[in-house]
Amino acid sequence: MKNVINKSEVIVLERGPADRVVFGRTVVLYDVENYREVTYQLIGPYESEPEKGRISVTSPLGQSLIGRETGDEVKAKTPGGIKEYEILEIR
């Protein structure tokens, strides 16, 4: 753990236009399979708490969202199978 802390760096979150999904952004998605909206903030792997709406940028869903835009459809290969989402909003 000490090694992880020593290699840590502070990342300044982008506060410009939210036209693309990047680290730190909050994304509202439409879960195609479950017919519901879900909201996630993309953060680092050590801070992720999916049950609280915080997912890692290194997770399958996080990786599929990075660089995408509102209206894009994404698929993420998860342990539970392939999940499909539509990006409704980027904050």
What are the residues facing 38 on neighbouring strands? 29
Residue 11 has pLDDT above 60, yes or no: no
CA separation for the pair 44, 59 (Å, rounded): 10
What are the pLDDT digits (tens) for 13-68? 556 667 999 999 999 999 999 999 999 999 999 999 999 999 999 999 999 999 99
CA separation for the pair 91, 80 (Å, rounded): 27
